[in-house]
Amino acid sequence: MLALLSALFTFLVLTGLTSIIPTHEVVVSVLLANATMVVVLITIVAWSFFDLIRARRKGRAGARLHVRIAFMFGIVAAVPAILVAIIASITLERGLDRWFSTRTRAIVGSAVGVAQTYVREHALGIRADLAAMADDLSRLRGMYDENHPRFREILSAQASIRGLPVTMMIHGDSTIVERADVDPSREAQVPTNLSVRQATAQRPIIYFSDDADFVAAVMPLSAFTDTYLYVARPIDPKVLQYLRSTEAGLAEYSSMEDRRFGVQVAFALMYAVIALILLLSSVWLGLNFANWLAAPIRRLISAADLVASGNLNVKVPLRRSEGDLANLSESFNKMTDELRSQHEDIVGARDQIDQRRRFTEAVLSGVGAGVVGLDTKGRVTIINRSAERLLNRAQMDFIGVTIGDQIPEIAPLVEQALAGEERVLGTIKLSRGGRERTVNVRVTTEASSESEHGYVVTLDDITELVSAQRTSAWADVARRIAHEIKNPLTPIQLSAERLRRKYGKLLAHDHEIFDQCTQTIIRQVGDIGRMVDEFSTFARTPKPVVETQDLSETVRQVVFLMRVGHPEVSFEIELPSAKLPARFDRRLISQALTNIIKNAAEAIEAVPAAERGKGRIIVHVAREDAIAIVDVVDNGVGLPAENRERLLEPYVTTREKGTGLGLAIVGKILEEHGGKIELRDAPAVKEGGRGAWVRLSFAVENAPEVALQQGEAETQDGKQDDQKVSTA
């Protein structure tokens, strides 16, 4: 308001609409006052723009919109002012050009010339009259001396005829000698600044003064001594007034022409100051209006950001003075109320679904059988941990993939279910991670709507059950065989020995044959006895007597004995840097490890001599959590890919003279220690080599339930085991 009042006051002063005279000091003072207000306004506007830019850089809500609105108001205020400035400058320039154009300058100069020409004509006329009259008076020199009154009459007549009301004869010192009586009322005197003696007959003096209303002339009289003729003729006062005003106007015009640039600068400064004040005031008002307009929008944007971040309790303050924006704020608050209500309903439903899902996952995780959920196209939607461990794959490998691509063994059963059968049962063989498992498969349809229809595949690992059934059956058979065969073996062996002792010397001719036959009977009976002993051992494995032992030392002793028995094979043993204490039956674990290493040595011997090379057996001992692990890796003939797990069953062997009880006995020993045996391919098989890898694992603290759980977890990642053994 002060700036606008200052601009108005400046305009009134400079245009002469006030009693204050616009002197140079006054103009400079008001311009300095306005310049001060301009500086203040520029500072305020610049600070406002700086706040806008800083808010935009900080990413404040609505900052961009605020800048755009302020920018538009600035353009709306600046463009008209600039256009008016250009037009005013052109108008002022053109207006001054008209005032100082050549035509105007010629008109003003012509007016002065006309007046001066008029006076000059009077001067020329009085000069001619002066010369004629001086000549006539010079011829009347004698009359002047003889008849002076007559001479005066002639002088007066000459002055009257020529229209010279002032006619005098004067000396060089301007004293009057004689004067004509033409107009007694007009008293004339010779101007004091007139140099009479400088006049000559050839160059009379013409006198005209700015403050005089007459034209005078003086010329010497040749017939008289030091006598001059002085005449004066009056000029029209209006002509003199016009001449003076014209000369004054010409002087003022010249002065204005000299001050033209200063006038332009003064007007330009006045307009610039007033225009800047109006422009900056408009910009400032525009900024304030932009603040007023952008404030509710900024609040809405901030509230929308909070809502987007999840805060639905946001309320935008209502200000009825904001008009439609207040209605928008009210609608926004209603929207957030509706969103909060719907969000609470959705969260409640989600929590309920999550609770059900967690319960379902807990049930599925606790189920020993593998469970796989399928959609209507046979793609996997859910899989529990038991199925992951059984299939030796992570959950992410199955989700969204057709089950037939991941488990081709059950694809026929799933296709039957997809074809419309409500329940499909079957038994399959799964080979995962170097292990072959026997699995019962059950495919059932879900009792749900058509849009949510799906299938559930249940995988029951019955490998251990089948193996246990076979082992139990073979143990019963072994007991019966041992009971039925072992009893007659002793009488047979005793009878054969008695026959050899009593009749061996009596048979002279067939002594060798008789001795050979009895030796054969005794030897075969011994072999049958040893076989029966193995049957008995398998049928009645002694209970382990567990004690705290150093597993590393036990393994070292077994490897030492086997190295002595098989010098042609290279044994490499990898033991922990410290002792590995565990609770186990040293004799049984040594027996189990001896059987495994013996089988490895026999597998190396089974390789043809041309292909065998240097036999190599690696024994690696480690502990993982509460599980002790002994890995035996060889470069022998390896294990069969099919029915590999059946090698752990009694009387199943790949050697011609094997009984098939060695691995079965090892399995029973580890089972008594809460562990298990695993049959795998050696790491070299992946690179085109050969060999077998047998892993023995049991609980360090002799806790079968812990050992079984840990053992299942260990087999889930066969790649880590391959890397460890390969490094060893």
Q: Are 670 and 702 in contact (CB under 8 A)?
A: no
pLDDT, residue 45, reads 77
C-alpha span between 545 and 146 (Å, rounded):
196
Q: Are 650 and 616 in contact (CB under 8 A)?
A: no
374: its two tokens: 């399928």
90: its two tokens: 């052109």
C-alpha span between 519 and 418 (Å, rounded):
69
Each residue's pLDDT tens digit, 163-186: 788 888 888 888 888 888 777 666
DSSP tag of 317 = P
pLDDT of 265 over the 70 cut: no
Number of other residues whose CB lies within 10 A of the CB of residue 216: 23
| C-alpha dihedral, 46 to 49 to 50 to 51, nearest 10° | 130
Each residue's pLDDT tens digit, 537-593: 655 566 778 888 899 999 999 999 888 888 889 999 999 988 889 989 888 899 889
C-alpha span between 22 and 306 (Å, rounded):
62
pLDDT, residue 706, reads 38
DSSP H or E segment with residue 549: strand 547-550
C-alpha span between 343 and 513 (Å, rounded):
101
Point out which residues pair with 424 in neighbouring strands.
Answer: 443
Ranges 191-195, 268-272, 587-591, most confident: 587-591
pLDDT of 484 over the 70 cut: no
C-alpha span between 191 and 208 (Å, rounded):
10
Q: Where are the beta strands (DSSP E) in 385-506?
A: 423-432, 435-445, 455-461
Collect all residues with Cβ–Cβ distance below 8 Å to 552 and sequence separation of at least 6: 575, 576, 579, 580, 621
Each residue's pLDDT tens digit, 497-544: 877 777 776 776 677 787 788 888 887 777 777 667 666 665 556 677
C-alpha span between 618 and 601 (Å, rounded):
11
- 123-132, 656-665, 718-727: range with lowest mean pLDDT: 718-727
What does the angle CA 271 – CA 277 – CA 281 come to, to the nearest 5 degrees? 145
C-alpha span between 229 and 403 (Å, rounded):
148
Check residues 440 and 600 and name the one with the higher pLDDT: 600
Burial class (CB in 10 A: 0-12, 13-18, 19+), 253: middle
Sheet strands side by side (includes 166-171): 176-179, 166-171, 227-234, 214-220, 205-208
259: its two tokens: 């001050």
DSSP H or E segment with residue 692: strand 692-699
CA nearest neighbour of 67 among 84, 79, 49, 83: 49
Matching residue, tokens 């035996």? 632
CA nearest neighbour of 270 among 26, 527, 556: 26
702: its two tokens: 């002799």
Each residue's pLDDT tens digit, 287-342: 777 777 777 777 777 788 788 887 878 887 777 766 677 777 888 888 888 888 88
What angle do helix axes 2-14 and 24-57 make, rounded to 10 degrees?
150
Taken in order 198, 203, 207, 208, the sign of the CA dihedral is: negative
pLDDT bucket at 618, cuts 50 / 70 / 90:
very high
CA nearest neighbour of 431 among 694, 683, 641: 641
Q: Are 250 and 188 in contact (CB under 8 A)?
A: no
Point out which residues pair with 216 in neighbouring strands.
Answer: 207, 232
What does the angle CA 377 – CA 380 – CA 383 come to, to the nearest 5 degrees? 155
645: its two tokens: 């797990």
pLDDT of 357 over the 80 cut: no
Q: What amino acid is encoded at 721 in this protein?
A: D
- 194-203, 268-277, 675-684: range with lowest mean pLDDT: 268-277
CA of residue 698 relative to chain centroid, distance: 55
What's phi and psi for 231, nearest 5 deg?
A: -125, 155
103 in helix, strand or coil?
helix
Q: Roughly how many angstroms between the first and final C-alpha of the chain, as a whole number?
A: 92
Q: Are 391 and 370 in contact (CB under 8 A)?
A: yes
C-alpha span between 717 and 420 (Å, rounded):
37
Share of the chain above pLDDT 70, in %: 72
C-alpha span between 527 and 532 (Å, rounded):
9
506 in helix, strand or coil?
coil
Check residues 617 and 203 and name the one with the higher pLDDT: 617
C-alpha span between 654 and 648 (Å, rounded):
12
What angle do helix axes 662-672 and 511-539 make, rounded to 10 degrees?
30
C-alpha span between 295 and 654 (Å, rounded):
88
Total-model pTM: 0.37
436 in helix, strand or coil?
strand
C-alpha span between 602 and 694 (Å, rounded):
14
pLDDT bucket at 385, cuts 50 / 70 / 90:
confident
Check residues 485 and 229 and name the one with the higher pLDDT: 229
Each residue's pLDDT tens digit, 61-105: 556 666 677 677 777 766 777 777 677 767 766 655 555 555 566
C-alpha span between 58 and 50 (Å, rounded):
12
Burial class (CB in 10 A: 0-12, 13-18, 19+), 173: exposed
C-alpha span between 288 and 47 (Å, rounded):
13
Q: Which CATH architecture is the domain 128-246 placed in?
A: 2-Layer Sandwich (3.30)
The two beta strands, 423-432 and 435-445, are antiparallel
Q: Are 695 and 677 in contact (CB under 8 A)?
A: yes
Count of helices and strands (H, E) across the chain: 20, 17
Q: Are 233 and 239 in contact (CB under 8 A)?
A: no
| C-alpha dihedral, 102 to 108 to 109 to 113, nearest 10° | 150
522: its two tokens: 């005794």
Q: DSSP letters along 332-371, please? A: HHHHHHHHHHHHHHHHHHHHHHHHHHHHHHHHHHH-SSEE
192 in helix, strand or coil?
coil
C-alpha span between 444 and 458 (Å, rounded):
8
pLDDT, residue 85, reads 67
What is the CB-side half-sphere exposure of residue 539 using CA atoms within 13 A?
Answer: 17
Number of other residues whose CB lies within 10 A of the CB of residue 123: 17
pLDDT, residue 723, reads 43
pLDDT bucket at 128, cuts 50 / 70 / 90:
confident
673 in helix, strand or coil?
coil
DSSP H or E segment with residue 15: none
Q: Are 300 and 327 in contact (CB under 8 A)?
A: no
Average pLDDT, the chain: 76
Which superfamily, per CATH, for 547-727?
Histidine kinase-like ATPase, C-terminal domain (3.30.565.10)
C-alpha span between 542 and 559 (Å, rounded):
24
Q: Which CATH architecture is the domain 367-461 placed in?
A: 2-Layer Sandwich (3.30)
pLDDT, residue 728, reads 38
